[in-house]
């Protein structure tokens, strides 16, 4: 249950005075990008539910989109808000709410999800491209030199490139904290890939295959060190 009693009342089997016919119907192919991991309703912040409640007062799809655009413009559109909208849909489905209302709630969720992806997918791509550029500037050996108290020129160049990118005022720039967050999210993915490589190493049919896999894993260890370094430099810059 949602702990806030007012929100619980508003979000569970509430009468919604909008005409569902004025909202866009959900297209089947849109489900492809919808995250399906389980969400704990109590882990979603009350303020995120409150924004969803505000959107439910929209009279039609156009007004809904205008409100979502305004939320995004003010920097309030977060993953938490998208999760709150999904929880509202799932809880009303579980409670047996009428299909017209479910479709309206799904429309709110769809518009929020689409806008969120619209905002952050380009940012992730920009972070990936910028990170790849920086990775070519320094080596794992430079990081070893840093641990010994040296300051390699390449690391200074990385810091300068980051500062210039984060401070850039013209055009699209990579956000400092978003870049650090993106790199932090890459590391668990690398962990899973490394686990698969270790399994392949254990199952290697011959010595040549083992040696090739060992070389790959050594190179990936260096890549991981570089990703961690970029994350830490960006965070502390």
14 and 72 inside one domain: yes
Q: Which tens digit of pLDDT belongs to each residue from 132-168?
A: 999 999 999 999 999 999 989 999 999 999 999 999 8
158 and 83 inside one domain: no
86 and 166 inside one domain: no
Tokens of 109: 């969720």
Residue 206 within a domain: yes
Residue 29 within a domain: yes
87 and 54 inside one domain: yes
The answer to whether residue 85 scores a pLDDT higher than 60 is yes
Instruction: For residue 77, give the DSSP letter.
Output: -
Cβ neighbours around 163 below 10 Å, total? 13
pLDDT at 36: 54
Residue 42 within a domain: yes
82 and 177 inside one domain: no
Cα dihedral 62, 64, 65, 67, rounded to 10, equals: 120
28 and 115 inside one domain: yes
Cα dihedral 200, 139, 233, 194, rounded to 10, equals: 0
- Write down the mean pLDDT value for the chain: 81
Tokens of 184: 């932090």
pLDDT above 70 covers a percentage of the chain that reads 84
Residue 14 within a domain: yes
28 and 83 inside one domain: yes
Distances (CA, A) of 73 to 66, 76, 116, 176: 10, 8, 11, 19
Residue 102 within a domain: yes
The answer to whether residue 17 scores a pLDDT higher than 70 is no
204 and 151 inside one domain: yes
The answer to whether residue 109 scores a pLDDT higher than 70 is yes
Quote the CA–CA distance of 57 and 51 in Å, as a whole number.
10
21 and 98 inside one domain: yes
Residue pair 106/89 in contact (Cβ under 8 Å)? The answer is yes
Integer Rg of the chain from CA: 23
Residue pair 137/159 in contact (Cβ under 8 Å)? The answer is no
Mean pLDDT across 99-112? 89
Residue 132 within a domain: no
Helices of type H across the chain: 5-11, 46-55, 61-73, 79-94, 99-135, 140-147, 153-167, 176-202, 207-236
Go through the chain and tell me how many residues it has.
Answer: 237
164 and 232 inside one domain: yes
Number of domains in the chain: 2
Quote the CA–CA distance of 61 and 4 in Å, as a whole number.
28
- Residue for token digits 């990775």? 135
Q: Which of 84, 119, 154 is the last residue of a domain?
A: 119
Q: Which of 119, 150, 181 is the last residue of a domain?
A: 119
110 and 22 inside one domain: yes
15 and 108 inside one domain: yes
Domain span holding position 106: 5-119
């Amino acid at each position: 249950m949602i702990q806030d009693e007012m929100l619980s009342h508003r979000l569970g089997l509430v009468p919604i005075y909008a005409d569902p016919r004025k909202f866009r119907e959900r297209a089947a192919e849109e489900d492809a990008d919808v995250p399906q991991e389980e969400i704990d309703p109590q882990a979603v912040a009350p303020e995120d539910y409150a924004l969803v409640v505000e959107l439910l007062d929209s009279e039609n799809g156009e007004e809904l989109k205008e409100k979502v655009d305004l939320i995004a413009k003010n920097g309030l559109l977060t993953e938490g808000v998208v999760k709150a909208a999904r929880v509202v849909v799932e809880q009303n489905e579980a409670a047996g709410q009428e299909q017209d209302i479910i479709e309206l709630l799904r429309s709110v969720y769809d518009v929020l999800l689409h806008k969120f992806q619209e905002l952050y997918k380009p940012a992730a791509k920009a972070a990936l491209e910028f990170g790849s550029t920086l990775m070519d500037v320094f080596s794992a050996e430079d990081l070893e030199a840093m641990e010994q108290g040296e300051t390699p020129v390449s690391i200074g160049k990385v810091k300068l490139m980051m500062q210039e990118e984060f401070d850039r005022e013209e055009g699209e720039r990579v956000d400092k904290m978003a870049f650090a967050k993106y790199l932090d999210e890459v590391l668990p993915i690398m962990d899973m890939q490394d686990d698969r490589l270790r399994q392949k190493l254990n199952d290697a049919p011959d010595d040549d295959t083992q040696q090739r896999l060992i070389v790959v894993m050594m190179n990936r260890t260096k890549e991981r060190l570089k990703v961690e370094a970029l994350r830490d430099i960006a965070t502390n810059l």
